Amino acid sequence: MSKPDTWMPLFGNDLFVATRGHPPYCFLAYIKAIWYYWHHNHCRGLKNDDYYLRGICECELTHWEEVRKMVFDNVDFFTLDESGLWRQKRTDVEWEFAQKRYNRAMNGGLSRSSRLTDERRSEIARKGALARHAKKYQ
């Protein structure tokens, strides 16, 4: 099972509808902010600092005011929480779901492994190695 930050769900219809009517550079900045929020930040919130946010969005200074007003609007896109961090509600929900699925898979795998004897674990490993070896040299 891959870690929760390995992939990020993208709901294209919702994304395109939400950003319709905004310039392409606002759309791209929004995608980059969400991507950073998910993959690098693990949905812990983005600090409220223009230099930091503009860097995440990789936005030209000439477009920053318009991008900031759209992406960090405190209503529909990113919202400022009580601790002063920018959050994205939909991404938070998806992150929690991905984290639960990952934990469930990891716990299930660990409990199965703990029920196996050392001999059975070795047997499974040997079979897997032989299968990989046989496939490699066919």
What is the average pLDDT score of the chain?
88
pTM attached to this predicted model: 0.73
**Separation between Cα atoms, residue 6 and residue 34, nearest integer Å:** 14
State pLDDT tens for residues 9-49. Answer: 888 888 899 999 999 999 999 999 999 999 999 999 999 99
**Separation between Cα atoms, residue 101 and residue 16, nearest integer Å:** 27
Give the Å distances, CA to CA, from 35 to 52, 53, 100, 104, 106.
15, 13, 20, 24, 24
Burial class of 71 by CB neighbour count within 10 A (0 to 12, 13 to 18, 19+)? buried
Domain positions in the chain are 12-136
Radius of gyration of the chain (CA): 22
